[in-house]
Amino acid sequence: MNDQRRTEARAVTLNVAGKSEEHADDDLYSFLYLEWYTLSSSCPLMAAALGPVSNLFSITALAEPWVIELNRGQFDRFYPDGAMTIALNAVSLAFGILANMALLANFTGRVKYGLSQAISITSFYIASVLLLALIGNEYRVYSSRVREGPNLQFSQGYWSAVITAVLYFLCGFVLTWNLVGHLKGHYPASFILTSSQRSLMLQILCITIWLAGGGGLFAGIQDYSYGDAVYFCDVTILTVGFGDLQPTNDLSRALVLPYALIGILILGFVVVNVRSIVLVSSREQQSLNRVERLRVRNLRRVPLERTDEDSFNFMRKIHKSAKKRDMLATLVLSTILFVIFWLFSAFVFSKIEGWSYFIGFYFCTTSLLTIGYGQFVPSLPGSKAFFVLWSLIAVPLMTMLIISMGNTVIAAIVKFVQKLGDVMLKNISSNLTTEPSQQMTTDLESQKPDEPLSDATNNEIQNFHAHDNYGNDHDNEQIAKEMHLVDAIQVIVGDLHVNPRKKYSYKEWNMLAKTLDTQFNWLGTDSPIRFPVDEPALFLRLYWNSLKDHLTNKYIANRKVSATERGHI
């Protein structure tokens, strides 16, 4: 039964790592394990995020003719698209919607992984190829028209088609890589996504539907082209407020208020979910992998004459080191991605609008900060279409950067300011007296997460030894053990209420091992602290099951004694 409790503790830690018992140590500490796990979750998440966005641009490409005629540099009229262009554009949109529906059906478990992947990948590629063919043909026709009259220009519909073709191909590519990882046996036939990731996909779908619907609404009310209307809605939701497009009548002013409010709320939900994903989802497996790699790497460095407590403390240090490295890696990755995106975006805007690179950089910065001076705004169809895509990508990237900075740089600054305040106010605070009412907190309420063995638990250990001293017969020994288990459970329940993520000391873990009549190998593969776990919940489970086993055995023994006594009678 004690081996069962030890196995149970191991099973809990393996469940945290997402590994089964028979595959507990399969490449968990290898470098490629983390890469394949990231691929299994990031690829479908990227496809599910970009898929609805690509449909938004595809609708713009279908709703707005691809060539416009200018009069003295100003918009004059659209050149109508040919019937074949409209038909193939509509077919491409239909394939794009089918791919997203198959992907969503897989996420909800309504369609099997293999069938969903086949439909999504094939549909994304077909939609991309159709648009690429149309773009190439339209460019050829446009070139011939320019020779006839120079006052022609590609509209937002054309540039939206270019963006859509790239996004469709990217979605098909990442899903193909996800399928390759499954066929190689690196993960099962399912998308490994958390509830936050699934919620994020639905919220991105909602915000794209909101932009697409708003584009149709304000295009009719304001007499905008559909591309301009989508751009107007995007600028409104992001609270940038360039001022180049404004509501011009009372009806549009009345409608823009609830539209902006609901859109900002949806965008806020997206930001919150991105924060949750950065803090939890992406870091959990990264932390587990790094802990395991550090554990395996340092096993040879630990001296053979180490004590059991030294091994326990060494494993704790590995966890702290892995946590610091994970936070630093997240910060570096977020910073690199954001800076590359920032500089590249400035280059694109400067080339399309004819600005200097500094002005493009200035425009991106003020737009990201939602300042909205209105000095420089996207004025060409290509820059407006790119701005909509740029803004939808910039929001989650900036959120990732801010969150990673909050856990590292900003946290260090806050800690420094607190220490500086303690030093500067030390003399003042030393003269203050503490009110008795401020001291009326329980030991459990004042206990810190990393605080060593609490006084309450020390008392329980002393009581246990005291029970052993006066337990001279079997009944007293049974009562002593029951009292120890009940007292330990009472303390752990308090820990769960006050600090459910508390880390127990070596003495507390050692007391658990004695109760289970076993010994933990703190640095081994069966270590209960091999991976980060919620220790109060694990302690409660093991102590509770130990008490249940004890009472069950006691009941069976009493039944046997009663049966024996009745037999003698």
pLDDT number for residue 567? 64
Rounded to whole angstroms, how far apart are CA atoms 103 and 86? 26
Rounded to whole angstroms, how far apart are CA atoms 197 and 244? 35
Helices 156-183, 226-237: inter-axial angle, 10-degree rounding? 70
Cβ–Cβ under 8 Å, residues 37 and 181: no
CA atoms within 13 A of residue 107's CA, in its CB half-sphere: 24
Count of beta carbons in the 10 Å neighbourhood of residue 283: 19
SS3 62: helix
The amino acid at residue 102 is A
pTM, entire model: 0.75
386: Cβ contacts below 8 Å, ≥ 6 apart: 159, 163, 348, 349, 352, 378
pLDDT number for residue 24? 42
- Nearest one of 332, 329, 323, 328 to 291, comparing CA atoms: 323
Q: What is the 3-state secondary structure (H, E, C) of 284-320?
A: HHHHHHHHHHHHHHHCCCCCCCCCHHHHHHHHHHHHH
SS3 71: strand
Sheet of 152-154, strand order: 74-79, 67-71, 152-154
Structure tokens at 213: 């619907």
- Cβ density class 161-182: b for 16+ within 10 Å, e for less: bbbbbbbbbbbbbbbbebbebb
Q: What is the 3-state secondary structure (H, E, C) of 112-171?
A: CHHHHHHHHHHHHHHHHHHHHHHHHHHHHHHHHHHHHCCCEEECHHHHHHHHHHHHHHHH
Q: Is 144 exposed, middle or buried (0-12, 13-18, 19+ CB in 10 A)?
A: exposed
Write phi, then psi, for 242 (nearest 5 degrees): -60, -40
Structure tokens at 326: 């994970």
421: Cβ contacts below 8 Å, ≥ 6 apart: none
Count H helices, E strands: the chain? Answer: 19, 3
Structure tokens at 158: 């054309």
Strand partners, 74: 71
Q: Give, in degrees to the nearest 5, the angle at Cα 448 between 445 and 451.
A: 125
pLDDT number for residue 279? 56
Cβ–Cβ under 8 Å, residues 277 and 197: yes
To which residue do tokens 């570096």 refer?
332
Rounded to whole angstroms, how far apart are CA atoms 273 and 116? 25
Q: Over its length of 569 residues, how does the chain's per-residue pLDDT go in tens digits?
A: 445 555 555 554 545 444 444 334 445 555 566 667 667 777 888 888 899 999 999 999 999 999 888 877 677 788 888 888 899 999 999 999 999 999 888 887 788 888 999 999 999 999 999 999 999 988 888 877 766 666 888 999 999 999 999 999 999 999 998 888 888 877 777 766 667 777 788 888 899 999 999 999 999 999 899 999 999 999 999 888 888 889 989 999 999 999 999 999 998 888 877 766 655 544 566 667 777 777 777 776 666 567 888 888 888 888 888 878 877 877 888 889 889 999 999 999 999 999 999 999 999 999 988 888 888 999 999 999 999 999 998 888 888 788 777 777 777 788 888 888 877 776 555 554 444 433 333 343 344 434 444 444 455 445 545 544 544 566 777 788 888 888 888 888 888 888 888 889 899 888 888 888 788 888 877 788 887 788 888 888 888 888 888 888 888 888 877 777 666 55
Rounded to whole angstroms, how far apart are CA atoms 537 and 549? 18
pLDDT number for residue 483? 85
pLDDT number for residue 362? 95
